[in-house]
Amino acid sequence: MESLAAIARELYALDPGEFTAARNARAKEVADDGDRALSKRIRSLAKPSVAAWAVNALVRHRFEEVDALLDLGERLRAAQDALDRDTIRELGRDRQRMLAEIGRSARDLGDELGTTVSESASLELQQTLQAAMGDEAAAGAVRDGTLVRTFSGSGLDPVDLAGAVAVPDALGEAAAARPARAADGPARGTHGGSAPGTADGRDEGDENPAPKRHKGDELEARREARREAKRLAKQEAEEARQDAEAAEAELATLDLRIRDTADERREQASELRELKQRIEELQDAVSAADMLAASLRKERAAAQRASDAAARAATRARQRYDKLP
């Protein structure tokens, strides 16, 4: 049987629109195999935000970019510890450049994978990676590739990773240990469930404890069922909200592209009108040049005839002059 961490990495590799159906199908498959506890934990995996998905996608498809950024963060922390101001300034400039580049890379990757990464989601992604550069535990969370939500950090205090990673105990970090759940019930005795007293857990002198305990168990079970139903309803509502936000972001992106296309068309139409007008002007200029050339050819022909006549007259005058005594 696969571990929860392995299943989570499989699910968080999917596009956000495919996550919920795939998670529920996986939970049912595991339940049908008889592991209801694991099935319940799978079903509790929250759908990632688009920005968190974008971080996970970068880790899977462009890990060298993420790794280079986190490596820069390690060098920057070392420079800060050493109070090396020159190196801090240099690495700080590199950090801003690389964060901007990876933001663009995330949007490009989203387009390749079919999920729009909006400008706001890109900014969240950059804030998350910047926080991971300054915090080793946050860097480990990013590298795991199963972020549920993004996070930020001041660089002074540890980054709050509560609820940020799908399976925090898989990171091996003490800070990521899960709190005990009320649904686990009260602590048991050292003998596997019977309280001190008689062999079946009753204190001597109790007249009818079994029915009371049975009713209490049923009441607690109903309460747990209501808590679970409420938790699932809240999770479904949150996922529906995320789907609505993603659809709204895609709609806004399409609207922007439509406006950009309309602006581009107007510019091209204006340029086309200018070109047509220029062509008409050039055609008029060519026609005028043709007419002028024709007129000049006629003038030249007349001038040539006059020149020939003058030459003949000069020849005759010369001949008359030569005949004079």
Q: Residue 265 class from Cβ within 10 Å (0-12 exposed, 13-18 middle, 19+ buried)?
A: exposed
CA-based nearest residue to 118, from 92, 150, 94, 143: 150
- Name the residue ranges covered by the structural domains of the chain: 48-176
Tally of residues, the chain: 325
- What SS3 class is residue 46? coil
Q: What is the DSSP letter of 91?
A: H
Tens place of pLDDT per residue across the chain (325 aa): 688 999 999 999 999 889 999 999 999 999 999 999 999 999 989 999 999 999 999 999 999 999 999 999 999 989 888 888 888 899 989 999 999 999 999 999 999 999 999 988 999 999 999 999 999 999 999 999 999 999 988 767 889 998 889 888 777 543 333 333 333 333 333 333 433 344 344 444 444 444 445 667 777 776 766 676 666 666 666 666 666 655 665 566 556 567 667 777 777 787 788 888 889 888 888 888 888 888 888 889 888 988 888 888 888 888 888 888 7
Q: Has this prediction a pTM greater than 0.75?
A: no
